[in-house]
Copies of this chain bind each other. A is one copy, B any other.
Amino acid sequence: MSAIQPPANPEEKPRVKAVFDDIRATRGSDFINNIWRYLAFDADLLERTWSEVKAVMATPSALDPLTKELLYLAVSIINNCNYCIHSHSAGARAKGMTDEMHVEVLKIVSLAAKTNHLSNAMQVPVDPEFMVGE
């Protein structure tokens, strides 16, 4: 069903094992989900992707972890990534997303899609009040 063949025993490669170990340590869980098992077909791509996900999503920052996960979910919905919608819906629930919040994300995402297209359809010019750069 997939378009690449993931390695059967990814952790035989030391670089892959090191990333998987760090995923487990960072998350405090033994579960390695499929996206990492598939990215393991190339150690460089796996390392680079995990490094960025860890830095952006799993490091304390100005936005709290749940808000970050909701933003990730919203983007995944608009990009229509089936895998990502499932994994980040689950991820957001694990970080505290209630059903009520989930509904709100759906309402905002679908409302924004609606007004984005209305605005594009009318080719509304940007108000000078909104411009900050040159």
Report A's interface with B, CB cutoff 8 A: 1-6, 31, 33-35, 38-39, 41-42, 44-45, 48-49, 52-53, 55-57, 61-63, 67-68, 70-72, 74-87, 89-90, 98-127, 129-134
Contact = CB atoms under 8 A, between A and B. Distances in A.
Contact of A123 (B62, B78, B118, B133): B133
Contacts of A35: 115, 118-119, 124
B86 A3 contact: yes
Q: How many copies does the complex hold?
A: 6
B63 A104 contact: yes
A40 to B, nearest CB: 11
Contacts of A100: 61-62
Contacts of A132: 2-5, 89-90
Contact of A80 (B81, B99, B126): B81
Nearest to A112: B75
Contact of A1 (B61, B105, B113, B125): B125
